[in-house]
Structure 1
């Protein structure tokens, strides 16, 4: 994977996490909805088809999403 691809992915993840935090802070989406959205995204990647390489990439994405859920990075905790 190229440095550009990696940095683009990191930028997209940072933007999405910031958007989720802002939506929660402004009471547009409650914490449960945000966690549900992340679970749905992880499940979509876990169940994705394609070549072996594509399935591995989707599984890695699902693992990253599950780490975000476990770490609580998508919602501010008091």
Structure 2
């Protein structure tokens, strides 16, 4: 896992200073905000591309997104 992945032609990263998800469509030359971590997620740690979904490890568990990180759901 890492703090930056390529998923469906976007570069997606964790911005640790803002505890949020950002994305780039131009190979990282500019970044745009995608989602904030909610209080139930804790601090964002690592990302992984799992095919049709993105996995996110946080201090409060494992989360997944099927919409490029716009929304996150806790994996049971």
TM-score, length basis structure 2: 0.21
TM-score, length basis structure 1: 0.21
More helix by share: 1
Compare CA radii of gyration and give the structure with the larger one: 1
More strand by share: 2
Higher relative contact order (CA 8 A, sep 6+): 1
